[in-house]
Structure 1
Amino acid sequence: MFKSVLLASAALIVAMPSLAQPVISATRISQDIRVVSSDAYAGRGITTPAEQKTIDFLTKGFAAAGFEPGGPDGKWTQDVHLRQFKVVDPKVNLAFADGSTLDLRQGEEITVSTRGTTSDVSFAKTPIVFVGYGVTAPERGWDDFKGVDVRGKIIVVLINDPDFPEPTLNTFNGKAMTYYGRWTYKYEEAARRGAAGVMIIHDADAASYGWATVKNSNTGPKFDIVRPDPSATSPKLESWISLDTAQKLFAASGQDLGALRVAARSKDFKPVELSATLNGSYKVNATEIVTRNVIARLPGTSRPDETIVYGGHWDHLGTGTPDADGDAIFNGAVDNGTGIAALLELARTYGKGPKPQRSVVMIAFTAEESGLLGSEYYASNPVYPLSKTVAGINMDALNVSGRTRDVAVTGYGQSSLEDMLKLYAAGQNRTVVPEPTPEAGGFFRSDHFPFVKRGVPMLDAHSGDDMVKGGVAAGRAAHEDYEEKRYHQANDEWSAKWDLSGMVEDVTLYYRIGYALANSDLWPTWRDSSEFKAARDKTAAERK
């Protein structure tokens, strides 16, 4: 099957000389990023006045490109029903066996949030249990809980999964993070077991981001899709604690955190009751809100019921605590002003060319920063059937540092979309490589994933680290500089010094792959080894 898909992809290139020179403009891309990441857009927080401002900008751009409204009932938008949880006045502390206490300040020693209750929360001498990585994986013969009842207790867990510090164990795919390593899984498993709360021990390497990112992402309002019983999927305390705080907690309990972290890598690990309790309270203001996905569509000429999707989230963090320079606006220029600009530029490129046989849909998702909720809502309530969604391309935090010799694929090795990417990348004298840090779990952290879980082949690919100017060292330095100084921080701002030549090449690849699919009868496939193949196979009859 894969060989036939590869040959079909190669035939598409030969048959489509019109794709030789798609005009992707760095100037237009830069201007769009500059607009949506300006202070006037106040960080594009959902349900703020900036939401309507962003929607207006997007719909005007899509309409000018020749696309039509693609949402339900002929609208440009899809209503996304969410519940907002706002923690107010959190005052919590750890109490130790010797009678001493440690106050946990919001954003300093701990981040206090919840999506698991609409009522106020209080803790009084609540027991605390260390459960290693907090993983239950029967297919791998792994159970960190070993029958210990954690109902009504606080569990302390390590971030990532057991293979991260020792990939040669290869129990959880070695270096590449599995879903068991994601913080979302930790909270879900705690809720399934009836735990009162979770404290995730922060580790910058294992999390792939520093404490500033944790603080900025977890001290404001949290969101979830509206659920009849929010406690079914989230505990009433969802928190991170700093590594220094964790060390104090374990030391005061007579435990060696370093030794327990090593022990947690083994299937034989058993939970450890800590001689400390959690006390305190916080108010929870829960309100139901409606935010919106923006959807634009270019109908196909001969098979309009078959859809190619391009996606990228429009939202960012809005405003928050001022940084050292007094800047409280999290502009989100790279994350994800670049994706917004790419959607608009792709729409312009499609609008100028011959109309495709299949439909092309652009979706600017809301609430990605709240947990991929806009894309989750769309995938749960698709406007266009997922069984007839041919494939999709996700664009999030694109390259602003110049051309690269490689293209990195997040979740490498999953589908035949990678083979199409290799063919078109070769035309740019570029190679396709796996993402450099699969242990960071990037495959689970962007808007393609809700589609992937339901079987739709999705591509999440971007410039690699091998810069044309400076090589791998320069690429890694640029990535690390962004992660440390700008990611989810107020400094993520537009710059006239950016080199968008690499982004132009990436967006050109996205166009060529999508346009080829939109003018063929090719259906990309999952590899036989992919865990997502079964979901796609269930709807195979609908694609005949």
Structure 2
Amino acid sequence: MNPMQQRVTGVIIASLALAACAATPTSSTGAAAPAGGISSDNLAAHLRVLASDEFEGRAPATPGEDRTVAWISAQFAAVGLEPAGEGGGWTQAVTLERTAITGPARAAFTVAGTRRELANGDDIALETLHPDGDVDLRDVPLVFAGYGISAPELDWDDYAGLDVRGKVVVVLVNDPDFETAPGRFGGRAMTWYGRWAYKYLEAAKRGASGVLIVHETEPAAYPWATVRNGRAAPQFDIVRADAAGHHLKVRGWIQRATAERLFADAGVSFDDAKGAAQRQDFRAHALGDATFSAAFDVERSRITSRNVAGLLRGAQRPDETVIVSGHWDSFGIGTPDASGDAIINGAVDNATAIASMIEIARVLGDGPSPARSVLFLVLTAEESGLLGATYYAANPLRPLATTAAAINMEMWSPDGPTRDISSWGLGRVSLERSLAAAAEAEGRSYSGDRDLEAGFFYRADHFAFAQAGVPAITVGPGMDQLEGGVEGGLAARARYFAERYHQPGDEFDDSWDMRGPTADTTVVLRLVRAIADSKAWPQWDADSEFRGVREASADQRRQRRADR
């Protein structure tokens, strides 16, 4: 047994011991929890292990993944789930293309013969997922395409009259409505057009060599540190036959101050250009004679990461499925912070959800069997673009047509209990009403996402299921603190995103107030039980963009019921 195998075996043994201790749930006071109740102490114990430095930040394709997958599998076994992965095991192999920058990344803008060097990580944050060779762009013309949006249904096209083939496109983050009066994009709520993933895809489709997104904290909904840490880590994607056309040669972000210098050097006011981009009559244009150069070596490999799957088999309609999901990955070992800590432990994001999944599985398993089967699906590579969920949706372990719902969890708050519970984005799905009913049954309320401009609907794993038609929702904490109100909740959220999100500061410690995660997990437990026991199929609302995809499989659900 090699040292790695010894360490993983040790983690499994410790995990089984922990699970055995958790067989009798205890409350946060140490007393026995009510029968079938979610245990604060169990949640904390799971977090203490999963967010520890021993797991090295849980990055895919690292020793941290091996420990994470082994630990979760052991927990699922201990609470009585059946292995639901491939070949009778606990995992689903997710083959990913891994791309990492090796050595220094050099970048520069050149305007009117003057070259301005850019510091990667400070002025600019670069990455690539393109399959061909090292990156070596030399004096590629720069064009400004506003928000980089082509939306025919809204009569909006930032690329109208502009050929971007072989060029690098500078675009703004979010969409035109964020800083203006509500217009064609529905106000401050971020749309799919505002997301960085959309902007990269649209430019790649048009043959661009690269995209640079101008970072601003408020419209991006996260600080530069989040961008820097995310780009510094290796990048992943599922295996694509059309990877060369799907991906840009180089993509990245630039600080607003960097953009202001570039535009000024090109004889353009950044503020004026941004203002023009917010109007329908905007026309994209070259940034004078400005060019962009970037060069860095790239190490490419194909790795296999893993989703973890455990099944609680339904008693009456076992072929129908309710998915309960959350992602296990974080960013591994990154850039040291001011204290010298470089491990991005991902305690809130998203060890909290995994702890809740284990507790929900335990409580459901201890009670009457649900009518439908419940698949507990712990997903990889969410931080790389929802890749574990995307892979599952393309290669489901159980048919999507008879998957009633995907209930995803993200980022419970350690800052105290709230009167409400929320979901991410505006889902336009019956699950939002079901969540409200579950909250009311627990003496709480449901509040819609108070931060629609952050675009969270597109930033969690449920989105991959939604695109495949499965009614899906991501449940997250509310903002109305029992001790602090909405003002306190919003302040705590802002502190987290500024100081800990995707940073080494996202750590668990025993000062956490576990009342919030416990109450929130209890609501999700009630929601899962209700959907699993119901004969009804959750539905997308009439105005949802996913309704048509779901309706295409309606005959399969009707036939399955008829055959039973």
With the length of structure 1 as denominator, give the TM-score of the two structures: 0.94
**Paired position in structure 2 for 1:210:** 223
**Paired position in structure 1 for 2:488:** 474
**Mapped contact 2:83–2:309 kept (Cα < 8 A):** yes
**Paired position in structure 2 for 1:295:** 309
**Paired position in structure 2 for 1:345:** 359
Q: Does 1:184 align with 2:197?
A: yes
Q: Does 1:257 align with 2:305?
A: no
1:350-395 CA-partner distances (Å, limit 9, x unpaired): 1111111210100110011111100100011001111100012111
1:199-243 CA-partner distances (Å, limit 9, x unpaired): 000010000000000000012211100112312222011110011
Q: Secondary structure at the match of 1:312?
A: strand
Write the distance in 2 (CA, Å) between the matches of 1:353 and 1:232.
Answer: 51
**Mapped contact 1:330–1:488 kept (Cα < 8 A):** yes
Q: Does 1:90 align with 2:105?
A: yes
Write the distance in 2 (CA, Å) between the matches of 1:283 and 1:176.
Answer: 38
Q: Secondary structure at the match of 2:202?
A: helix
Structure 2 letter corresponding to 1:362: F
**Paired position in structure 2 for 1:6:** none
Question: Cα offset for 1:402?
Answer: 1.6
- Correspondent of 2:148 among 134, 153, 160: 134
Q: Secondary structure at the match of 1:456?
A: coil
Question: Cα offset for 1:198?
Answer: 0.4
Write the distance in 2 (CA, Å) between the matches of 1:525 and 1:65.
Answer: 31
Structure 2 letter corresponding to 1:379: A
**Paired position in structure 1 for 2:18:** none
Question: Cα offset for 1:167?
Answer: 4.1
**Paired position in structure 2 for 1:104:** 118
Structure 1 letter corresponding to 2:335: T
Structure 1 letter corresponding to 2:259: A
- Correspondent of 1:148 among 144, 162, 187: 162
Structure 2 letter corresponding to 1:543: R
Question: Cα offset for 1:411?
Answer: 2.5
Write the distance in 2 (CA, Å) between the matches of 1:43 and 1:364.
Answer: 16
Question: Cα offset for 1:400?
Answer: 1.5
**Paired position in structure 2 for 1:438:** 452
**Paired position in structure 1 for 2:244:** 231
Question: Cα offset for 1:430?
Answer: 2.1
Structure 2 letter corresponding to 1:522: A
Question: Cα offset for 1:296?
Answer: 0.3
Q: Looking at both structures, which has the greater relative contact order when contacts are Cα pairs under 8 Å and sequence separation is at least 6?
A: 1
Q: Secondary structure at the match of 2:174?
A: coil
Q: 5+ unaligned residues in a row in structure 1: which ranges?
A: 1-19
1:30-50 CA-partner distances (Å, limit 9, x unpaired): 110110111111101111111
- Correspondent of 1:492 among 477, 481, 506: 506
**Paired position in structure 2 for 1:244:** 257
Structure 2 letter corresponding to 1:93: A
C-alpha RMSD over aligned residues:
1.2
Question: Cα offset for 1:21?
Answer: 6.8
Question: Cα offset for 1:317?
Answer: 0.3
**Mapped contact 2:438–2:524 kept (Cα < 8 A):** no
Write the distance in 2 (CA, Å) between the matches of 1:313 and 1:54.
Answer: 11
Structure 2 letter corresponding to 1:258: D
Write the distance in 2 (CA, Å) between the matches of 1:229 and 1:286.
Answer: 16
1:94-123 CA-partner distances (Å, limit 9, x unpaired): 1111x2211111101111101123311212
**Paired position in structure 2 for 1:50:** 64
Question: Cα offset for 1:92?
Answer: 1.5
Write the distance in 1 (CA, Å) between the matches of 2:315 and 2:452.
Answer: 40
Alignment of structure 1 residues 270-419 onto 2, 5 Å:
270-275=283-288, 276-412=290-426, 414-419=428-433
Write the distance in 2 (CA, Å) between the matches of 1:322 and 1:502.
Answer: 30
Q: 5+ unaligned residues in a row in structure 2: which ranges?
A: 1-33, 559-564
Question: Cα offset for 1:489?
Answer: 0.5
Question: Cα offset for 1:428?
Answer: 2.8
- Correspondent of 2:89 among 69, 75, 91: 75
**Paired position in structure 2 for 1:10:** none
Structure 1 letter corresponding to 2:60: I
Q: Secondary structure at the match of 2:240?
A: coil
Q: Secondary structure at the match of 1:199?
A: strand
Write the distance in 2 (CA, Å) between the matches of 1:412 and 1:446.
Answer: 13
**Paired position in structure 2 for 1:220:** 233
Write the distance in 1 (CA, Å) between the matches of 2:182 and 2:436.
Answer: 29
Q: Secondary structure at the match of 1:104?
A: strand
Write the distance in 1 (CA, Å) between the matches of 2:338 and 2:424.
Answer: 34
Write the distance in 1 (CA, Å) between the matches of 2:293 and 2:491.
Answer: 43
Question: Cα offset for 1:419?
Answer: 1.5
Structure 2 letter corresponding to 1:96: V
**Paired position in structure 2 for 1:172:** 185
Write the distance in 1 (CA, Å) between the matches of 2:181 and 2:390.
Answer: 31
1:489-535 CA-partner distances (Å, limit 9, x unpaired): 00100021111212111111111111122122111111111111111
**Paired position in structure 2 for 1:13:** none
Structure 1 letter corresponding to 2:471: P
Q: Does 1:458 align with 2:472?
A: yes
Write the distance in 2 (CA, Å) between the matches of 1:202 and 1:195.
Answer: 20
Which structure 1 residue ranges, 4+ long, deviate > 6 Å from structure 2? none
Question: Cα offset for 1:125?
Answer: 1.8
Question: Cα offset for 1:63?
Answer: 0.7
Write the distance in 2 (CA, Å) between the matches of 1:374 and 1:123.
Answer: 31
Write the distance in 2 (CA, Å) between the matches of 1:168 and 1:518.
Answer: 39
Structure 2 letter corresponding to 1:284: V
Write the distance in 2 (CA, Å) between the matches of 1:399 and 1:260.
Answer: 39
Q: Secondary structure at the match of 1:43?
A: coil
Q: Does 1:449 align with 2:475?
A: no
Q: Secondary structure at the match of 1:168?
A: coil
**Mapped contact 1:85–1:118 kept (Cα < 8 A):** no
Question: Cα offset for 1:348?
Answer: 0.7
**Paired position in structure 1 for 2:214:** 201
Write the distance in 2 (CA, Å) between the matches of 1:484 and 1:413.
Answer: 26
1:154-196 CA-partner distances (Å, limit 9, x unpaired): 0000000111111422x11212111000000010011100000
Identity %: 45
Structure 2 letter corresponding to 1:389: T
Structure 2 letter corresponding to 1:255: V
**Mapped contact 1:118–1:285 kept (Cα < 8 A):** no
Question: Cα offset for 1:461?
Answer: 2.2
Structure 2 letter corresponding to 1:196: S
